[in-house]
Amino acid sequence: MTLTAALAAVDPAELVALTRDLIRLPSVIRPGDPTATEARVAEHVERWLAKEGFEVAVQQVAPGRPNILATLDGEPGLRTLLLEGHTDVVTEGDPRAWSHPPFGADLVEGRIYGRGAADMKGGLAAAMVAAAAIKRSGARFQGRLVVGALVDEEGDMLGVRHLCGTPEGRALTAAIICEPEQNELCLEQRGVVWARVTARGRMAHGAMPEAGANPIAALGALLRETPALERQLRRLCARSRHLRPPTVTPTIVQAPVLGAPQANVIPGTAQATLDIRLTPGPDEGAVRAEIDAACRRAMAAVPGVTLEWQPANGYRLATRVEPSEALVQAMVAAVGQATGRRPRFGGVPGSTDGTILRMELGIPIVTCGPGARLIPHQVDEYVEVQELVEAARIYVASSLNYLAGNEP
């Protein structure tokens, strides 16, 4: 009864309108431009949720960059579920490359177009409308439902890191990450480490290389080591049905690190970044040991140069939750209730805010949201309206199923 009424309270027209409104408020972060933040979207989210009667908290993460958290309390209970979205979007690139204006939110043949349509203003709107449907229908549940619209997912994940340090974060017992995964239930996410390797040698004249030690040669040796590093990480990581195996991809090579490059000068330092993707298995120490070993082998090949590396953005290890988790069971049942079909399972190719929630708080997370998996960050990004509505219904049923239980 409760569930039927709550599902019926999901209003597709309202969901489409809200998604379009959010897309029309650009939230590309442009460093150096203090007005180019999530502020306007966050304000819209805050007002919309407050108007619906939610208790809304604003966490200032950085100037103009607030997390918005809306809560709805049921009867006393031990569970607190977060429906998680982020308010920032990546750059639209060259707007002339788009056939629909990137912030126009065109609605054409059942698709909404625009930067963030899938990643992830659509998913955020679906979470908001789902929570509102539960509230309006008066559905009964135990514990607390939270909608979180966090900042900076596409950057350093400052929003979720901030949340994890607050009482609101520590009270969470599970989270649904509403990222675009074509409404598949993703119990696994790949991890990432950006290994920024600095080579330090000795500056010298290019005509007299014997007088110096060339850090670029050491980076060359390191690049030759990457296939071996990749093989080693694949050995350590679990094989996964839903995730591609680990990869090691050089993405930045830079020399000199400071100052102007000059054709006849061997620079003192050089830097390379390896984009390392992981599947579940090894812990931080095991990953570190493999990267250390690759650096040592490269160093041995070029005497006089030292290699040091840092994880440029910390360790975001791969995550996995067990199918036996209460959250997973709640969502498996919910897909049937909300859509009449059996759940499809998938895996998240990159890391999400859920990675940080899983690593910092240890809570179960499932990533599931509207939008084709490959569409984020592309031109002519879109979300299917039908998938959007389905997501909102899945969130309603998942929330009520999970919050019907009362074990922590």
Check binding of 119 to Zn ion (CB under 5 A): yes
Q: How far is the CB of 181 from Zn ion (least distance, A)?
A: 10
**Residue 150 interacts with Zn ion (CB under 5 A): yes or no:** no
For the CB of residue 203, give the shortest distance to Zn ion in the complex, in Å. Answer: 43
Rounded to a whole number of angstroms, the minimum distance from the CB of residue 18 to Zn ion is: 17
* Closest CB 357 distance from Zn ion, rounded Å: 14
Nearest to 7 by CA among 340, 393, 403: 393
Q: 120: cis peptide before it, omega within 30°? A: yes
Q: Which stretch binds Zn ion (CB under 5 A): 112-120, 137-145, 230-238, 263-271?
A: 112-120
> Would you say 119 or 225 has its CB closer to Zn ion?
119
**Closer to Zn ion at the Cβ: 173 or 351?**
351
One-letter identity of residue 134: I
Footprint of Zn ion on residues 161-190 (CB under 5 A)?
179
Q: How far is CA 162 from each of CA 35, 61, 270, 364, 380, rounded to the nearest angstrom?
A: 21, 7, 33, 19, 32
110-128 burial string, b = 16+ CB within 10 Å, else e?
A: ebbbbbbbbbbbbbbbbbb
Stretch 8-67 residues interacting with Zn ion (CB under 5 A): none
Q: Which residue is nearest to Zn ion (CB)?
A: 119
Looking at residue 28, its amino acid is V
Q: Which CB sits closer to Zn ion, 27 or 71?
A: 27
What DSSP state is assigned to residue 262?
-
120: contact with Zn ion by CB under 5 A:
yes
Q: How far apart are CA 238 and CA 292, in angstroms?
A: 21
Tokens standing for 329? 């069971």
| CA–CA distance, 169 with 345 (Å, rounded to integer) | 27
Span of 116-124, 184-192, 231-239, 337-345 interacting with Zn ion by CB under 5 A: 116-124
Nearer Cβ to Zn ion (27/398):
27
CA-nearest of 387, 394, 407, 242 to 333 is: 394
Question: For 66-148, where are the alpha helices, taking DSSP H only?
Answer: 122-137
Task: Give the nearer residue to Zn ion in terms of CB position, either 88 or 230.
Answer: 88
CA 161 to chain centre: 12
By CB under 5 A, how many residues form the interface with Zn ion?
A: 3
What is the closest distance, in whole angstroms, from the C-beta atom of residue 86 to Zn ion in the complex? Answer: 6
**Minimum gap (Å) between residue 148 Cβ and Zn ion:** 13
Q: Which residues contact Zn ion by CB under 5 A?
A: 119-120, 179
